[in-house]
Amino acid sequence: MEEIAIIGSGCAGATAAIYAARAGLAPLVIEGKLPGGLITTTAEVENFPGFPDGIDGFSLTLNMRQQAEKFGARFVADEIVAVDFSAVTKRLTAASGKVYEAKSVIVATGAKPRLTGVPGESEFYGGNGVSTCATCDGAFYRGKKVAVFGGGDSACEEANFLTRFAEKVFLMHRREKFRASDVMVRRIVANPKIEIVVPVIPERFVGDDSGRVRAAVVRDVATGEVREIEVAGIFVAIGHEPDTKFLAGALAMEPDGTLVAGGASGVATNVAGVFVAGDCADRVYRQAITAAGMGARAALEAQRYLEALS
């Protein structure tokens, strides 16, 4: 039986592994569908402390993994598909059929961005012109034209943020009226670098000879007219989905799947001995550094929980 099992290997899970391993708990990390988490799809991370020249997302989490392994953490290539938290011993059933047992569990499964699913999106996603994080990738589009798809507060925030770098931002939404708050809409309307394009839906994303995004093809919902808008980058901001479906009924969660994190630490769940960290429990910040911070807190809380058991 494991002292600590960590579900997920992104910044939250890997940081939790470092802290737990340094405490001598030899944590087991179940990597999940995407080892290293969603950040591995980011071409360059410029805002993580300690890397003045930036670092690609894959290398960042690889460094974290190696640091955790140095102290005794173990990583396994598996995915948890079901859990049983009804007893003191937690049981985790993996896609491989293996059942892992642990005294404490840290859930760090992250969240996956909702994508449009149109042709070209997957081809250009992650370093070739399609992104889901303006904070991560906005600086790569200095003096260029970009598009943002979405109609909520997040889309408006992304569009506003991108005007720090881009020459022009096309904010595209499928409806005439935005879902964003009035104050956010007012900011968008008042920003001279933002052009609102409504009501349109994406048809496809097209690239140039270098394999990077060249334009977004959109269809007017009202008239059916199809037009091509030339942009160097496309930011999809239509929401995130916490990767928590397999935990339904086992842990308290919000209607959108975000795990409820409470207690003085902000990482406790409604089940003793189970803690959460990162984007699966955070729909406000969703940054690598905040996920890492939650991972550290979760590991420290798990350590205290185990000490109380002994």
Active site residues: 133, 136-137
Q: Which among 43, 33, 19 is positioned nearest to 233, based on CA atoms?
A: 43
C-beta of residue 41 within 8 angstroms of C-beta of residue 29: no
In angstroms, what CA-CA distances link 42 with 79, 140, 158?
22, 12, 16
- φ, ψ for residue 46 (rounded to 5)? -105, -5
Q: How many CB atoms lie within 10 A of CB 193?
A: 15
Q: Which among 99, 33, 12, 87 is positioned nearest to 250, based on CA atoms?
A: 87
- Residues contacting residue 300 through CB under 8 Å, at least 6 positions apart: 19, 265
Task: For residue 156, give the H/E element and its range.
Answer: helix 153-162
- For tokens 């896609």, what's the residue? 95
Q: How far apart, in whole angstroms, are the C-alpha atoms of residue 163 and residue 107?
A: 36
Compute the chain's Rg from CA coordinates: 21
In angstroms, what CA-CA distances link 12 with 5, 41, 111, 226?
13, 16, 12, 42
Q: How far apart, in whole angstroms, are the C-alpha atoms of residue 150 and residue 264?
A: 35
User: Token pair of 171, please?
Assistant: 């904010």
